[in-house]
Chains A and B, each alone.
Chain A
């Protein structure tokens, strides 16, 4: 057999050489002959009906066209699970930062100048920022009839009975915060019409194939008339899974016939893309005085903000991971995803699994302290091993090196203190 060329060998990454020389092209580094520049008008109100007056802005020399909802040639919507985003808001804005208009000008300076001349009349309506309030019947509705878009349930054993048998029960509430990916390369892109009449969008994205579908649907074109090119991507971490500028650019190139470029600054980048879901968690965990976990009841409320993005998948994953890596015979988990008028939340590293240990692990520490058991010992007594059954009924047949991991950490941790 020939020796392996790749497996087991150090391989230089294909884009490495270009990147160390500054030669790798990210979307903001790409320029085209005769290109126009875009700038996005974003809402500064969290919940309002809008009317937009372009008259003054359109008069500025160098402004080629200003796109609003009525210029969208196909369906004015996009979204990874639900099509709940407008490409450009038609009637209502649901968060600060919602895109309302897209100015196309001969220079970036002109496009940005024109933004200031667009008059938006906001008719503000009550907004809701607290996901618990948003779950109430009387809360202002962000989309449709209810703000609750998902409810994951996990039931194992009988927690009510089990809590009666516990010698100790710890009940606490925990709250995680909204987090931005802050990938180092702010969003940028350029779109143009190809010789064969296709729209080509160059943008840093995690999902060129989804982007193609979304652009095609919004422009009313068959997918074969839409090409997405992914140049170098300056970090993403989940933050480039949702559409930001791709459809605006495609539409601008499609309607003007010219290449159109847009570059977000850091501040606009914060407005444009998703965040990590902040999760409100209520934990009730019970154990025997010997330190055996018997029951856990958890309620999670994830604030997905104005748009669903991946909320359902994220809050399902949060629900599945809520009990932590411990064998607990009686578990009840309710995990909700809720709309509010906050910035929208979606994918970010861990996808819901990152938040719940804030709750479940602090529960373990508090229980250990109250029981007078070493917190590491307490975890070793209860943690998953080969053959364990998770709360949602999965039997773990192999590869559960948690005990080894805890012991290795324990040895190293205390070595430094010694």
Chain B
């Protein structure tokens, strides 16, 4: 066993893990955060996407011990105070969710994209989710949702500025 300490969804964990444990198994089986999905186990499908130190990675391709010292966001850490994140809301509003197995990874890829580029064009969105497969082939709706999420986020910021202006 090897000891690791890391932050997942803003909570600090100090745990012992098996040497050959993958990060996805740590997240799903030890932290019981089962929103992170395993679709292929070899980095082809993106269902296991998490955000690690600000960047998306396939958690099936990282060893758990390598995550020592890192800051991780999984799908469970995206909503704030029980309120859906604008990306999650947009996925719902557009109808971008079908079987839902790709959805957590898609949402995290979208989040990493929008965190870096607030107003991506459709091409950049497609590039941003190019590591995530949807077998229900709802890609157009997903691209629509990310576009909508981008506008939600901008509106939200305007609301914040205007409301703080009023205070």
Contacts and interface: CB of A to CB of B under 8 A. Distances in A.
Direct contact of A and B (CB under 8 A): yes
Contacts of A234: 37, 39, 99-101
11 contacts: A16-B92, A19-B100, A20-B103, A20-B107, A21-B84, A23-B35, A26-B37, A26-B101, A181-B135, A183-B99, A183-B101
A171 interface: no
Interface of A: 10, 12-13, 15-26, 28-29, 31, 181-186, 232-237, 265-266
Interface stretch (B62-70, B73-81, B115-123, B153-161): B73-81
Interface in B75-129: 75-76, 78-79, 84, 88-89, 91-93, 95, 97-104, 107
B23 interface: no
Given A19-B100, A22-B74, A186-B39, A13 B95 contact: yes
A24 B100 contact: yes
B92 A22 contact: no
A385 to B, nearest CB: 31
Contact of A20 (B36, B38, B88): B88
A237 B135 contact: yes
A40 B8 CA distance: 34
A184 B99 contact: yes
A24 B93 CA distance: 18
Contacts of B136: 235
B146 interface: no
B34 A184 contact: no
Contacts of B92: 12-13, 16-17, 20
Contacts of A232: 99-101
A235 B75 contact: no
A175 to B, nearest CB: 25
Given A184-B39, A184-B134, A235-B98, 4 more contacts: A22-B74, A24-B100, A237-B135, A266-B40
B57 interface: no
Given A28-B38, A184-B135, A20 B99 contact: no
Contacts of A236: 99
B142 to A, nearest CB: 11
B34 A25 contact: yes
A265 to B, nearest CB: 6
Interface in B20-46: 28, 32-42, 45
Which of A16, A28, A29, A182 lies at the interface centre, i.e. has the most chain B CB atoms within 10 A of its CB?
A16
B35 A22 contact: yes
A26 B101 CA distance: 8
A235 B135 contact: yes
B74 A266 contact: no
A26 B36 CA distance: 11
Contacts of A12: 92-93
B39 A185 contact: yes
B141 to A, nearest CB: 12
B21 to A, nearest CB: 11
Contacts of B88: 20-21
B51 interface: no
Contact of B36 (A15, A22, A31): A22
Contacts of B148: none
Contacts of B45: 184
B32 to A, nearest CB: 8
Closest 7 CB pairs of A and B: A22-B35, A19-B100, A22-B75, A234-B101, A29-B34, A20-B88, A235-B99
Contacts of B41: 265-266
Given A16-B92, A182-B135, A21 B100 contact: no
Contacts of B89: 20
A30 B163 CA distance: 44
Contacts of B76: 21-23
Contacts of A26: 37, 101
